[in-house]
């Protein structure tokens, strides 16, 4: 598969993931009051909607990137991992009523056991560097095409 075909396919996958996140956000909104930390549930709701918009935007932009197959694979998977790991960390925190050590503003003082806090940190900490790499590659892929 050449680079252009891969970028087109990855763009379509990002569009699909964006719509899946919109559906998730729609249904997740109904369970917010039942969560152990409803404020974190509201954060999941907002974050999932934002990430859905990000994925749809990236999906439309993706086929125009000037990236080779290896760079596009890294950018795609790092972007998807970073976004979904962040959402997963918030979901787990909302279910457990934990997360105060890593997201103190959203958690509003709720804190789980040391094991719960460590699990949330282990889930979310790798999301930052992978996201930075993904966005760096995306920025590089947006450079002007040479004539």
Taking only the tens place, the pLDDT of each residue in 6-65 is 999 999 999 999 999 999 999 999 999 999 999 999 999 999 999 999 999 999 999 999
Confidence of residue 68 (pLDDT cuts 50, 70, 90): very high
Where do the structural domains in the chain lie, given as residue ranges?
3-141
pLDDT, one tens digit per residue, over 89-124 is 999 999 999 999 999 998 898 999 999 999 999 999
d(CA 109, CA 58): 34
- Taking a C-beta distance cutoff of 8 angstroms, is the pair 74, 131 a contact? no
d(CA 12, CA 17): 9
């Amino acid at each position: 598969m050449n680079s252009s075909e891969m970028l087109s396919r990855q763009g379509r996958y990002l569009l699909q993931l964006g719509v899946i996140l919109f559906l998730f956000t729609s249904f997740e909104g109904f369970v917010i009051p039942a969560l152990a930390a409803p404020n974190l549930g509201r954060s999941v709701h907002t974050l999932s909607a934002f990430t859905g918009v990000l994925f749809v935007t990236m999906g439309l932009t993706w086929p125009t990137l000037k990236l080779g197959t290896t760079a596009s694979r890294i950018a795609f998977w790092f972007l998807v991992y970073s976004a979904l790991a962040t959402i997963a960390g918030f979901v787990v925190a909302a279910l457990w009523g934990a997360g105060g050590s890593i997201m103190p503003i959203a958690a509003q003082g709720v804190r789980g056991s040391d094991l719960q806090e460590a699990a949330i940190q282990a889930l979310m900490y790798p999301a930052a560097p992978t996201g930075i790499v993904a966005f760096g590659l995306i920025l590089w892929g947006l450079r002007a095409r040479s004539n």
